[in-house]
Amino acid sequence: MNFKKKSVRDIELKGRKVVMRVDFNVPVKEGKVKDDTRIKAALPTIKYISDKGASLVLLSHLGRPDGAVKPEFSLRPTVDVLSKLIGKPVLFADDCIGAATVAKAQSLKPGEIMICENTRFHKEEDMKAKTEEDKAKADTFAKELAKLGDIYVNDAFGTAHRSHGSTAKICRHVPVSVAGFLMEKEIKYLGDAVANPQKPFVAIIGGAKVSDKLAVLKALIQKVDVLVIGGGMAYTFLKAQGHQIGKSLCEQELLGTAKEIMDEAAAKKVKLLLPCDNIAADKFDNAAQVKTVGQDIPEGWMALDIGPKAVAEFSEAISKAKTVVWNGPMGCFEMPNFAKGTLGVCKAVANSGALSIIGGGDSVAAVNQSGLAEKMTHISTGGGASLELLEGKELPGLKALNDL
């Protein structure tokens, strides 16, 4: 996949009409935005386009309204938040397509900004086009979106793995399609990690299930020097090695696959690290009885975090890295008694001096919780998209942009 894409800095913007895909899929409760992180992430591109004298129409989805107009998924609450952040009025359109919305977009003056209503209020946005008729409907929807501007900017990396109307199909109908600054940054770090990582390259993969990370594990074994596996998925690997894992999480049907991954790592001379000790609990509860055990978990107990020796071993490997990719926690870090493993790894990554790329919602949450976010090179905004990029898959929303 070609990662060299034109960005918004490569084009003339003065007097132009720009339609931009952002990720304003923010938590909303009782009509109020509860976390504006994603809106803030888009600000550099929004300000740049506006300051350069272009008018700007913003498209986004929010939640899963399944092609129906549902007030609880309206983007209207984001208007006041963006207006305060950017320091000027922001307009709102009650739909993302249609004559009234197009007229409103065309009437925008240079520097003015408008947010359109949720693109997923239309089923054609993310339609699984199984028939020629469905394909035609999806294409017509994308063509309608394209009427909102003569330049398309995609700054929503979190949806770049979706071939939706507002993320990929729109590019067929707009003369110029480029990346925003957030997208550009994701391409720079994640693209380089895939294509040309500095060695030693250490990947830390955690989370609950092997099945969720199977493709990325197989892809990374072809590239990394060290593969660290933690979280609930580690116990499928330990069981595949013949260890007792008590009531720990295990995907029985993937024991053979886990063995194949370990054999592949050995064949590629990739050092594969599993937790050498674990924090076991008698129940899934922060107030559970706990004890530190080795790689064998006693009957009736479940491992909910990696142990102190594992933290030390993983940290030692991380300290030697030049590139670190981390996706997924080491344990049930949302419970304080089982957060030490994840936070220990977080400190090791922060102190490593390596180019560090953090992807995945739980990893990002752990880094933010640790207070060490500023010491990471790059924190990805797209969990699913970052995983698919690391797997080596093409991202439709990225592929559709103009090449440099």
Which sequence positions are flagged as catalytic? 38, 209, 361, 384
Q: Which secondary structure element, helix H or strand E, spans residue 77, and what is its range?
A: helix 77-86
User: Using alpha carbons only, what angle is made at residue 67 by residues 61 and 71, rounded to the nearest 5 degrees?
Assistant: 65
Amino acid at the residue 402: N
Backbone angles phi and psi of 327, in degrees to 5: -140, 110
User: What residues does 45 pair with on adjacent strands?
Assistant: none
Q: Which secondary structure element, helix H or strand E, spans residue 86, and what is its range?
A: helix 77-86
Show Cβ contacts of residue 278 under 8 Å, excluding neighbours closer than 6 positions. Answer: 292, 293, 294, 295, 297, 303, 305, 306, 307, 310
The whole-angstrom separation of Cα 114 and Cα 98 is 15
CA distances from 343 to 9, 66, 210, 381 (A): 38, 37, 21, 20
The pair of three-digit structure tokens given for residue 301, joined into one six-digit string: 């107990």
User: Residue 31: which region, alpha, beta or left (left: phi > 0; alpha: psi -120 to 50)?
Assistant: left
